Structure 1
Amino acid sequence: MSGFGNVLRRFRNQRGLSLRGLSMLVNYDFGYLGQLERGERSPTAKVASACDKALDANGAVVDAYERAALDDGMQRRTVLRALSALAVGGGPPLVGLEALRQGLGHAVDGEDHDEWQQIALDYGRAYYLTPPDVLMEQVTADLAVLQAVMVEANSRQKTSLSRATAQLSVIIAMTLTATGRLHMAHRWWTTARRAADESRCLDTQVLTRAWDVTNGCYDGRPLAEVIARSDEAIALAGDRATAGSAGLYAGRAQALALAGRDDEALTAVRQVAEITARLPSEITNDAASFWAWPEHRLRHTESYVATHVGHLADADAAQDRALVLYPECQARLRTQVSLHRASCLIQKGHIGEGLRFAADLLDDLPVEQHNKLLYEVARQVMAVVPASERRRTELGDLAARLPITSTA
């Protein structure tokens, strides 16, 4: 309803009133009035009437409200038709069911898009707990419905909904990588970045790129490309302390370590620690969410980098701390940290012990928890075995537990 906001602002300015001044006359919060003028909230008939009277607008503000309400009602009916078509269109059952639920929600209140942000947040908690095939089915269903809503949304609504689109696209890209469908994952990262930019939300832009950079350490992309992408994102993030900026420097540190740029990798790890120390407790204490930055992710990053650069005492300390902090439900990530320990054992000269430990870790983890990222860490364990020791039976045993790589 930006047309209403323009009319309201014009009459307020003509009367020489500030938002606070108008707020005192109509007994509505000035922040709310500012949101009405910017088109961020929709007015009610009651507030339109109060503003019209206070501004002596002779019905112009009320007329603007009624025109906008009519336009909004037409848009809502269009969205309902689109959702109804999805609900009865014979597509996947979850798509139809979610379309029906969303359609009922629009029939009651077509203006509130906060639910889509909550849906994205919920997937952040489901990511570590839900089997990939189930997760993909659920996210795909929600994105199909979100697409129908986006088609009929106005520009302001599209900006708001783009944030959820970016976050759901990240979930899909990560799940595709985890299941080894790398070419498709790369396309979804492009979609996620584009949606994040359309959201105009800096936190979303940085967080999306942070996961993209981190993912690049596991999906076979050239490391120079991953590091360059981290440079671009860091310029965007600036000096802000957010979960996204912490994750961004963590992904960069891992990529630099893989590229053999040890000093830069260690510098990036220190930057992760500095950002973590500045984060509010609600972010660092949230151990369950994909979108937060709990301490165990810092320690995981320290373990990864220290293992790769050969700072084995630091790696041992980081691994000890990470394994204490990781929730039991995140068994795969705990196993990845333990695989770093296997690599450290090999680097200390305990080659057979390290390889057997790695094989046992894979055997002990339920097969439904295995994924591409886990196997990539296991291959990194194998990579530190000296050339003179590569005929060991234990190396062959570990290799036999890993699937043939694929980029499908």
Structure 2
Amino acid sequence: MTLVFFGLARAPSHDIIGALQGVRIDLFLAKVDGKNGKNRGEDVARRQGDIDPSKSPTHAFGGVLRRWRDLCGLSVREAAGQMMITDSVLSRWEHGERLPPKDKVTLLDQLYNADGVLVALRQVVSVAEGAPGSTLEVRVPNGRDDGDDMERRTVLQLLTAMSVGAAVPVGALEIIRDGFDKSVDATGDYSLADWEAAAYQAAFDIRVKPPTDFIAGLLPDFVDIRKALEARPESDRAGLQRVGSQFAALMAMALVETGQFAEARRWWRSSRTAADASGDLDLRVWVRGRQAAIETDMPGYTAPLVLRLAQEAEHLSGGRSSVGVAEAWIGRSVVMALSPVPGEPVLSAERVLGRYDEIGAELPEFAIRETKAIWGWPSERHFGTRTNLSVLSGADDAYDQLARKLETIGVGGDQRAITATRLAQSTLLVKERPTEGLDQALQAYTALPAEHRTTTIKWWIDHLMRQTPDHARALPAVQELKALTA
């Protein structure tokens, strides 16, 4: 699977030929197809010589600025003229001599049509530059790294990989996640209200942002809350652990949508650990229930794992309805509909939807009123998820429910939700009218911007392929869909 990060869909061909040696990364050894179809990668690499992105995060950011200017086909003079700054100022930014002000980066992002990439990366750089040390090539006595230096190098590795459109380095994410795990039982001092507000915003952003953009925005917050946990006194400590668990769960969800499943499971584990440490029962239930539901989106998921997570959530709930219990029931229902486990009861559509509605009717009022954050369960979400369960459990009125769902979303609504719903319709159509169902799926998928073609969307394509009759598997639309999702 080819992963496109930070809105780099305009550069569809990434051939990363540089290698990581120690902590030194060659930022520009990448072939990139530019806006006009011209391969600029080798030319950029030849002209890159006087910029060393491995010197510091600021130097790396300067290299990123130059790369985006090159992709736009602008000279230094042309770009500086449109920014109404001197050539020398822009040149110093590109050479890493200083970090551009936030307002100037916002203007550069707009000028280069970077879709927020530069703004997000500057935020990462500002976090990294706050750590001690002036270079990435640090010699440490006895071969031991200072934690902040390692974290600083890690952030630079993430920055560099994302700037060339490569997949987020799993090892780099693991260093930050591991640091968080070690902090769950530490103490410190920080503003809990600010962190709760940040978690709430992130719980909304994950619903609407491309997952790679979301990861970029969450990373600096996660680094900061890890440090806060290390220095926090006992008062409000449980609150920070709660926020950290929410951040870790959101990171896991975004990683699933980018296809990094093994890493996502490790972040889920971190989220469960922090939730348990926080003592927040609803959160403990939600993390397990949410993972149970999300696991079913992963290719080759294991039914016993989903059922174990669902059972843990239901047991912890003590019979009390919550959003986590609803999530757990979704995971359990999908498993029993698509890959029943021996010894487990077969669930009819009536049973699946009946129990689902029972849980929804018993949810606390605050969960129903929450319309923005992912841990809310308003009526629109209840209905939308119910339609998906109707499809998977074989309800007679599933197609009609999907049609009503599209009406509810509206023409200008969530792009991913619209596409997923049309793909779900296609899985029903394809059984009786294969050509119509496959053509509708192909049209829906190709209309969705590349950065929104997430694991969940591709799951529906996989399900469509499984529902396609044998006699229709040679149709052109089947081959096109397979090629697009390979």
Q: Same fold (TM over 0.5)?
A: yes
Which residue pairs with 2:79 in the alignment?
none
SS of the equivalent of 2:226 reads helix
Letter in 1 for 2:367: I
- Determine the structure 1 residue equivalent to 2:130: 87
When the two chains are superposed, the root-mean-square deviation of aligned CA atoms in Å is 2.7
C-alpha displacement of 1:247: 2.2
The 8 Å contact of residues 342 and 358 in structure 1, kept in 2 or not, is answered as yes
Per the alignment, residue 317 of structure 1 pairs with 400
Once residues 86 and 269 of structure 1 are traced to their aligned partners in structure 2, the CA distance between those partners, rounded to angstroms, is 52
SS of residue matched to 1:290: coil
Partner of residue 440, structure 2: 357
Corresponding residue of 1:241: 321
**Given that residues 303 and 340 in structure 1 are in contact (C-alpha distance below 8 angstroms), is that contact kept between their aligned partners in structure 2?**
no
Q: Which has the higher helix share?
A: 1
**Which one of 229, 249, 257 corresponds to residue 309 of structure 2?**
229
Cα deviation for residue 212 of structure 1 reads 0.4
AA of the residue aligned to 1:402? T
How far is 1:304 from its partner? 2.3
1:373 positional shift = 1.4
Name which one, 1 or 2, has greater alpha-carbon Rg: 1
Between the aligned partners of 1:139 and 1:265, the Cα distance in structure 2 is 38
Aligned equivalent of 2:23: none
**2:275 maps to 1:275:** no
| Partner residue in 2 for 1:116 | 195
In the superposition, relative to structure 1, how do residues 111 and 168 fare at CA in structure 2: closer, same or farther (>3 Å)?
A: closer
Distance 1:350 1:214 in 2: 30
Q: Secondary structure at the match of 2:209?
A: coil
Per the TM alignment, residue 337 of structure 1 is displaced from its structure 2 partner at its CA by 1.8
| Residues 332, 365 of structure 1: 8 Å contact kept | yes
Q: Measure, in 2, the Cα distance between the counterparts of 1:240 and 1:324.
A: 33
Opposite residue 389 of structure 1, the aligned amino acid is A
The separation in 2 between residues aligned to 1:280 and 1:325, in whole angstroms, is 24
**What amino acid maps onto 2:441 in structure 1?**
A
TM-score w.r.t. length of structure 2: 0.58
Q: Distance in 2 between matches of 1:84 and 1:284?
A: 36
Is 1:341 the counterpart of 2:420? The answer is no
What residue identity is the alignment partner of 2:206? Y
Unpaired runs of at least 5, structure 1: 1-82, 96-108, 404-408
1:233/1:393 CA distance change after superposition, 3 Å: same
Q: Note if contact 2:229-2:237 (Cα within 8 Å) is conserved in structure 1.
A: yes
- The whole-number CA distance in structure 1 between the counterparts of 2:385 and 2:476 is 31
Alignment of 1:179 with 2:262, yes or no, is no
Residue 192 of structure 1 deviates from its aligned partner by 0.8
Report the equivalent of 1:291. Answer: 375
Maintained 8 Å contact 2:190/2:232: no
CA distance in 1, matches of 2:349, 2:279: 30
For residue 153 of structure 1, the aligned residue among 226, 232, 236 is 232
Distance 1:89 1:314, change over 3 A: farther
Kindly tell me: are residues 353 and 201 of structure 1, through their superposed partners in 2, closer, same or farther at Cα, counting changes over 3 Å? Answer: same
- Correspondence for 2:208: 129
Shift of 1:381: 0.7
Name the residue aligned to 1:204. Answer: 283
Equivalent residue of 2:296, what SS? coil
Amino acid corresponding to residue 297 of structure 1 in structure 2: R
**Relative to structure 1, is the Cα distance of residues 397 and 134 closer, same or farther in structure 2, using a 3 angstrom cutoff?**
closer
- CA distance, structure 2, for counterparts of residue 134 and residue 401 of structure 1: 22
The Cα of 1:132 is off from its aligned counterpart by: 2.1
Deviations 1:317-367 (A, max 9, x none): 3213322333744210221122111011113x1111101111111011122
User: Amino acid of the residue matched to residue 315 of structure 1?
Assistant: A
| Conservation of the 8 A alpha-carbon contact between 2:288 and 2:312 | no
For the Cα contact (< 8 Å) 1:295–1:325, is it kept in 2? no
Contact 2:333/2:347 (<8 A) preserved: no
| Offset from partner CA, 1:69-107 (integer Å, 9 cap, x none) | xxxxxxxxxxxxxx99972437459x9xxxxxxxxxxxx
SS at match of 1:128: helix
The alpha carbon displacement at 1:292 in A equals 0.6
CA distances 1:93-148 after superposition (whole Å, capped 9, x unpaired) = 9x9xxxxxxxxxxxxx9564122122111111111222322211221111111111
Q: Which amino acid aligns with 1:186?
A: R
CA separation of 1:190 and 1:150: change in aligned 2, threshold 3 A: same
Shift of 1:209: 1.2
Question: Structure 1 CA distance, aligned partners of 2:200 and 2:355?
Answer: 26
The 3 A distance-change label for structure 1 pair 392 and 265 is: same
| 1:59-78 superposed matches below 5 A | none
Mapped partners of 1:325, 1:397: distance in 2? 30
Structure 1 residue 372: deviation in Å? 1.4
d(CA) in 2 for partners of 1:242 and 1:149? 29
Among 458, 462, 476, the residue aligned to 1:379: 462
In structure 2, the CA distance between the partners of 1:85 and 1:223, relative to structure 1 (3 Å rule), is closer
What is the alpha-carbon distance in structure 2 between the residues aligned to residue 166 and residue 128 of structure 1?
18
Q: Greater shift after overlay, 273-282 or 178-187?
A: 273-282
TM-score by length of 1: 0.68
| In 2, Cα distance between equivalents of 1:239 and 1:333 | 31
Deviating more after overlay: 252-261 vs 177-186: 252-261
From 303, 315, 335, the equivalent of 2:387 is: 303
Give the C-alpha shift of residue 266 in structure 1.
Answer: 4.7
Spell out, residue by residue over 1:218-244, the C-alpha distance to the aligned partner (whole angstroms, 9 max, x if none).
Answer: 113211221122112111113323222
AA paired with 2:225?
A: L
Unaligned runs of 5+ in 2: 1-125, 134-151, 159-187
Aligned position for 2:480: 397
Contact map agreement 1:283 1:294 (CA 8 A) in 2: yes
